[in-house]
């Protein structure tokens, strides 16, 4: 039995045999096989060679392939694929090292290629590219087979991979795939988003996992606690089966809340909105009882195509989400990436400290072409429903004014071409830096709403990177400094009479809901699957109790005291919460 | 494999030397014989039927290589290889006279 800790990005429990998916875009990890599986892996290699030869014969016999360079390249590939010494080197490696066919192919071909690269001869060095091509050909056959198997599953499985690409996840047979565990990724990785959309448990950022499992491994994915157990012992398995039953019972109860209002026992209404990444998630938000989108992250547009998105790409993505919600609000946040995350075509020189560098609104204000394209698309979509625009990472009033000035420019452009848009579209900002939080009174005078992004606000206020395992325990919303800064922002927003919501992870943490309500928050935006649970919390509390709790928290001076008080309060109000 | 072990020395005489295309021709030719055939330069001895191994023996114009064959058709194999390398020059041109005198 092996227990691995990662980040739980989609809640739920899955227990099943695993399917391991490799990808030819990265180095295939070493994965051990049993003695009894060696013949099978050798046979798979043989089949891959045969399939590659067949494929190559078909391609090179096409009339379009003229004599010359291309034909030469195919000729080299063909001779390699028919080379018995080459074939033997791979199968010997499988037998001796007891590894998968994929790993053997990848290792041996990399060895050959680096040998060629090492020869001082330019002509031969260039042949290394051919070797990588041959590797691709073989891996396509090997991995394609696995991918096909996943598409034609007959029993329930969990998928284990280094990382999953959109194309891979799109083709999974959803009846049989029960959960995901990946080595790479974070809360906003593709796997995270897709699993939340599909409502399947997922844990990411597990480090080396694919080498710890074999095709026979039983795997438990605990998306609630971010744990993956490989080959659990009987007792662990029994515990998890019980836990899974409880979870599914609880989820079932929650689903009954879907059409009930999110209001406290004493009748105070709270608006529950969804945070989404992809337009397709809009429907999930609705299904879970969300009343709109409180945070539409638009970064996927920049990350998936490899090139800068066109105005039409933006517009289509926004229109799709807005149409799902009719007259309910959809808050679209402008591009929030660091320069380091942008596609190659628009990438810039690396920075020493990207978190404090040219990112998000700062990048947009320096790259007006990119910024205006997005603003034009958002404005065009604004006539389709209740679209609201939000600028991220604002640190002062000047930045806000500058961003709004560019928005006016774009509006004038649209006027010129008589393109319709909502001239009264609400414009708000993320409060996610101490600087904007401390000057919230000034900012509130010049925008229509705030959305508090607690993840970044905590990181910048406490100077803690929660992705850094050495300090991540210091990352807590229950720090007195965070409580005070939240209270001050909420106060400034309410005093100015502008809209206010909380869209960070705190908004989906059952322990913090009473505090947020007590401090005056009336709108929360959170990951769609969490909406029912948070609604249940809201429906179980009295606003008077929340107010008293908030007043009490304000007097405490340590994170531990605050955390304990919050935990006691919610346990009292809702004993069955998970 | 029965039969004698035979060995000859051949000299690379085409201008481009023993590169990829000539290597492929040699591999194809060697593959047609039953004998086990190896090619050696100063450093390596490789299987003449394996393109993977032959690509280790990248040799410029003028290099001498040892070709060894063992098996029933060893003689025929070596003679065919000698012809390919030294007479038909892999179907490639010899060096320009000027280049030749440079080397000389």
Label residue B104 by pLDDT band (50, 70, 90): very low
List A18, A190, A314, A447, catalytic entry: A190
User: Best residue in B19, B22, B49, B55 to probe A by mutation, most A CBs within 10 Å?
Assistant: B55
Q: Residue B98: pLDDT band by 50, 70, 90 thresholds?
A: low
Q: Which residues of B touch A83 (CB under 8 A)?
A: 27, 49-52
Contact B21 A72 (CB under 8 A): yes
Using DSSP's 3-state secondary structure scheme, residue A322 falls into helix
The dihedral region occupied by A306, where left means phi > 0, alpha psi between -120 and 50, and beta the remainder, is: left
Pairwise CB contact (< 8 Å): B20 & A127: yes
pLDDT in tens, B28-74: 999 999 999 999 988 889 999 999 898 888 788 888 999 999 999 99
Contacts of A493 (CB under 8 A, 6+ apart): A440, A444, A449, A450, A499, A500
CA distance A111 to chain B (A): 11
CA distance A547 to A517: 7
Model pLDDT for residues A438-493, shown as the tens digit of each residue: 999 999 999 999 999 998 999 999 999 876 667 878 889 999 999 999 999 999 99
- Partners of A112 on chain B (C-beta within 8 Å) are 52
The answer to whether B40 and B81 are in contact (CB under 8 A) is no
Size of interface A-B (CB pairs under 8 A): 43
CB contact under 8 A, B55 and A124: yes
User: Which chain A residue's Cα is nearest to B55?
Assistant: A124
Give the ipTM. Answer: 0.84
For residue A459, what pLDDT is reported? 92
Residue A446: alpha-carbon gap to chain centroid:
32
Spans of all domains in chain B: 5-91
Instruction: Give the separation between CA A163 and CA A185, rounded to whole angstroms.
Output: 7
| Model confidence, pTM | 0.65
pLDDT at A142: 85
Q: What proportion of chain B, given as a percentage, has pLDDT over 70?
A: 89
The active-site residue out of B19, B34, B66, B70 is B19
> What pLDDT score does A202 carry?
93
Q: Residue A311: which residues within 8 A CB-CB, separation 6 or more? A: A373, A376, A377, A380
The pLDDT value given to residue A115: 84
pLDDT band at B101 (very low <50, low <70, confident <90, very high): very low
| A124/B19 CB distance under 8 A | yes
How do beta strands A202-204 and A177-182 pair? parallel
Q: Where are the alpha helices (DSSP H) in A417-509?
A: 434-438, 440-444, 454-462, 480-496
Quick one: CA torsion of A335, A339, A344, A349, rounded to 10 degrees? 160
Fold classified for B5-91 = 3.30.1340
All domains of chain A in start order, with CATH: 2-23+155-250 (3.50.30.10), 35-151 (1.10.274.10), 256-573 (3.20.20.60)
Q: What is the DSSP string of B67-102?
A: EEEESTTHHHHHHHHHIIIIISGGG-PPPPHHHHHH
What does the pLDDT read at residue B2? Answer: 58
Question: Which positions of chain A have pLDDT values less than 50?
Answer: 65
Known catalytic residue at A18: no
Q: How far apart are the C-alpha atoms of B29 and B24, rounded to whole Å?
A: 9
Secondary structure, 3-state, A58-110: HHHHCCCCCCCHHHHHHHHHHHHHHCHHHHHHHHHHHHHHCECHHHHHHHHHH
Contact: B19, A123; criterion CB under 8 Å:
yes
How close does chain B come to A86, measured CA to CA in Å? 6
Q: Which residues contact A336 (CB under 8 A, 6 or more apart)?
A: A297, A298, A299, A359, A360, A361, A392, A393
């Amino acid at each position: 039995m092996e227990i691995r800790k990662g980040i739980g990005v989609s809640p739920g429990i899955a227990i099943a045999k695993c399917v391991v998916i490799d990808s030819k875009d990265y180095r295939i990890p070493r994965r051990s096989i049993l003695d009894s599986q060696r013949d099978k892996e050798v046979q798979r290699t043989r089949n891959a060679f045969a399939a590659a030869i067949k494929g190559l014969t078909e391609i090179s016999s096409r009339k379009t392939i003229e004599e010359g360079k291309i034909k030469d390249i195919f000729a080299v590939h063909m001779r390699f694929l028919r080379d018995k010494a080459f074939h033997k080197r791979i199968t010997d490696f499988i037998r001796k090292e007891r590894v998968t066919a994929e790993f053997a192919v990848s290792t041996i071909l990399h060895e050959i290629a680096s040998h060629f690269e090492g020869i001082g001869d330019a002509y031969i060095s260039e042949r290394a590219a051919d070797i990588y091509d041959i590797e691709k050909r073989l891996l396509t056959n090997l991995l394609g087979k696995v991918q096909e198997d996943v598409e034609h599953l007959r029993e329930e499985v969990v998928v284990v991979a280094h990382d999953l690409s959109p194309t891979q996840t799109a083709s999974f047979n959803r009846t049989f795939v029960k959960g995901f565990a990946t080595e790479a990724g974070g809360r906003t990785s593709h796997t995270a988003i897709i699993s939340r959309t599909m409502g399947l448990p997922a844990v990411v950022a597990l480090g080396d996992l694919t080498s710890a499992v074999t095709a026979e491994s039983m795997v438990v994915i605990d998306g609630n606690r971010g744990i993956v157990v490989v080959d659990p012992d009987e007792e662990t398995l029994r515990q998890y089966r019980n836990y899974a039953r409880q979870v599914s019972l609880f989820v079932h109860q929650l689903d009954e809340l879907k059409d009930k209002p999110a209001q406290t026992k004493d009748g105070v209404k709270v608006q529950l909105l969804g945070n989404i990444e992809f337009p397709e998630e809009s429907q999930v938000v609705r299904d879970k009882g969300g009343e709109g989108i409180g945070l539409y992250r638009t970064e996927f547009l920049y990350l998936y195509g490899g090139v800068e998105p066109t105005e039409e790409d933006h517009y289509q993505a926004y229109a799709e989400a807005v149409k799902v919600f009719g007259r309910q609000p959809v808050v679209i946040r402008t591009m929030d990436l660091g320069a380091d995350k942008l596609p190659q075509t628009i990438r810039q020189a690396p920075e020493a400290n990207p978190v404090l560098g040219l990112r998000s609104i700062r990048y947009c204000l320096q790259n007006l072409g990119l910024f205006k394209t997005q603003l034009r698309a958002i404005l065009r979509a604004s006539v389709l429903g209740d679209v609201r625009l939000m600028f991220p990472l604002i640190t002062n009033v000047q930045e806000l004014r500058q961003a709004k000035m560019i928005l006016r420019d774009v509006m004038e452009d649209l006027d010129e071409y008589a393109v319709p848009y909502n001239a009264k579209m609400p414009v708000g900002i993320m409060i996610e830096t101490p600087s904007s939080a401390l000057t919230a009174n000034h900012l509130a005078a010049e925008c229509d709403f705030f959305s508090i992004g607690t993840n970044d606000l905590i990181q910048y206020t406490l100077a803690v990177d929660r992705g850094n395992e050495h300090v991540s325990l210091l990352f807590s919303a229950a720090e007195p400094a965070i409580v005070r800064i939240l209270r001050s922002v909420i106060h400034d927003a309410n005093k100015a009479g502008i809209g206010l919501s909380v869209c960070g992870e705190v908004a989906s943490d059952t322990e913090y809901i009473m505090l947020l309500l007590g401090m005056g928050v009336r709108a929360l935006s959170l990951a769609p699957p969490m909406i029912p649970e948070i609604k249940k919390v809201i429906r179980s509390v009295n606003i008077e109790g929340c107010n008293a709790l908030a007043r009490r928290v304000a007097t405490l001076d340590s994170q531990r005291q605050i955390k304990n008080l919050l935990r006691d309060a919610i346990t009292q109000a809702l004993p069955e919460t998970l | 494999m029965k039969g004698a072990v035979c060995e000859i020395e051949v000299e690379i005489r085409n201008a481009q030397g023993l590169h990829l295309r000539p290597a492929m021709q040699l591999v194809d030719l060697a593959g047609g014989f039953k004998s086990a055939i190896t090619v050696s330069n100063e450093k390596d001895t490789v299987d003449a039927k394996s393109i993977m191994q032959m690509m280790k023996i990248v040799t410029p114009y003028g290099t001498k290589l040892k070709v060894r064959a063992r098996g029933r058709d060893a003689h025929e194999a070596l003679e065919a290889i000698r012809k390919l390398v030294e007479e038909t020059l892999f179907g490639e041109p010899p060096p320009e006279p000027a280049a030749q005198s440079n080397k000389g």
